[in-house]
């Protein structure tokens, strides 16, 4: 199942810089592991914002939910999820 996910990050301004940097290191490792597994297919930064648009390829809504809740920055995110289906007019048989 393919999902488009927009993540907008809002880290509290009073959070200590050391704590923020620690969370970011763990977040990067977590997201890159999911990318290597093929579950986090694409990630794009939104210019000028602390936000991204990502494409996930997972088995179920529950799997995506669990992945997103596992993000170390999850408590500081607003997340919007959109399920995606192949369009019947697409000329491609795959996601390339």
Whether 96 is covered by a domain: the verdict is: no
Residue 89 lies in a domain: no
Looking at the domain assignment, is residue 27 inside a domain? yes
Q: Which domain holds residue 12?
A: 2-84
Q: What local confidence, expressed as pLDDT, does residue 39 receive? A: 97
Residue 82 is predicted with a pLDDT of: 98
Q: If you ran DSSP here, which 8-state letter would residue 3 be given? A: E
Distance CA 72, CA 76 (A): 9
Q: Are 83 and 73 in contact (CB under 8 A)?
A: no
Report how many domains make up the chain: 1
User: Could you tell me the CA-to-CA distances from 26 to 72, 88, 96 in Å, in that order?
Assistant: 7, 40, 30
CATH (domain of 35): 3.30.70.1060
Which tens digit of pLDDT belongs to each residue from 70-94? 999 999 999 999 999 888 898 888 7
pTM of the model: 0.90
Q: What is the pLDDT of residues 24-55, one digit of tens each?
A: 999 999 999 999 999 999 999 999 999 999 99
């Amino acid at each position: 199942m393919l999902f488009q996910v927009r993540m907008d990050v809002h880290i509290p301004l009073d959070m200590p810089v050391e704590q923020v940097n620690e969370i970011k290191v763990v977040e990067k490792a977590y997201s890159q592991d999911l990318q290597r597994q093929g579950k986090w297919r694409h990630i794009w930064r939104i210019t000028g914002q602390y936000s991204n648009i990502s494409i996930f390829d997972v088995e179920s809504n529950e799997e995506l939910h669990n992945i997103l809740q596992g993000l170390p920055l999850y408590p500081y995110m607003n997340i919007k999820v959109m399920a995606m289906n192949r369009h019947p007019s697409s000329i491609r048989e795959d996601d390339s």
